[in-house]
Amino acid sequence: MGKHTKKTDFTLSGRFLTYVLSKGCNVKGIRLATSRGEQYIKLSKALRPACADILQPGTWIQIQGCQKVNTKTGKVKLKAKSIMPALPGSSSSDDIEPSPHAIGNVQKGKIRICQKSSCRKRGSRKVLTALNTALQTSGRDKEIQLQPMGCVGKCKAGPNLVVLPDKTRYTRVKPKNITHILQQHF
């Protein structure tokens, strides 16, 4: 830790917005709508596998972790160590009661794309990037969540993609197919 860095614990509640993916398309953090605005919170490595599939946009959650504040620049970095359900409107640990049913209705669906080696060789990363761009430019990135997924056993027909809740599978997807897929399902 640098001499200008101060480390403290934090507790924060808010609505889960979206996952943030690393360059390798793995989940590395989340965006949370809180009373102090939208926050990016990095997930500890131990939390990543457990969180990757379960959070739905609009879900109220409470996060505990540590924050590093650069006392020179004022920049704050948040890292989550634990995530639990929270009641809508929660702001501190004192008024939290776990509620697994506290799920909002913002989300319309999910698109999962295989990011394992065979699909990657066949261009699944380009498809993921194209989808991400299409959703962000149309402002639908909060309604339709993108998720990397593991091998589904159809490696030679990759890139493989699944649209939820319909559970429709697509094979050999190319970036030019994205518009059609979005029109079909959303």
By the criterion CB under 6 A, which residues form the site for ligand FES?
114, 116, 118-119, 151-155, 158, 160
Q: Which is nearer to ligand FES, 58 or 123 (CB)?
A: 123
178-185 helix and 124-137 helix, angle to the nearest 10 degrees: 60
Q: Kind and range of the H or E element at 10?
A: strand 5-21
Closest CA to 135 of 54, 23, 21: 21
The conformation of residue 92, written as its DSSP 8-state character, comes to S
Q: Which is nearer to ligand FES, 29 or 158 (CB)?
A: 158
Q: Which is nearer to ligand FES, 61 or 114 (CB)?
A: 114
Closest CA to 52 of 73, 83, 7: 83
Minimum Å distance from CB 147 to ligand FES?
14
Q: Which is nearer to ligand FES, 134 or 152 (CB)?
A: 152
Buried/exposed 107-137: b ≥16 CB within 10 Å, e otherwise: beebbbbbbbebbbebbbbebbebbbebbee
Minimum Å distance from CB 164 to ligand FES?
17
Minimum Å distance from CB 109 to ligand FES?
20
Minimum Å distance from CB 176 to ligand FES?
20
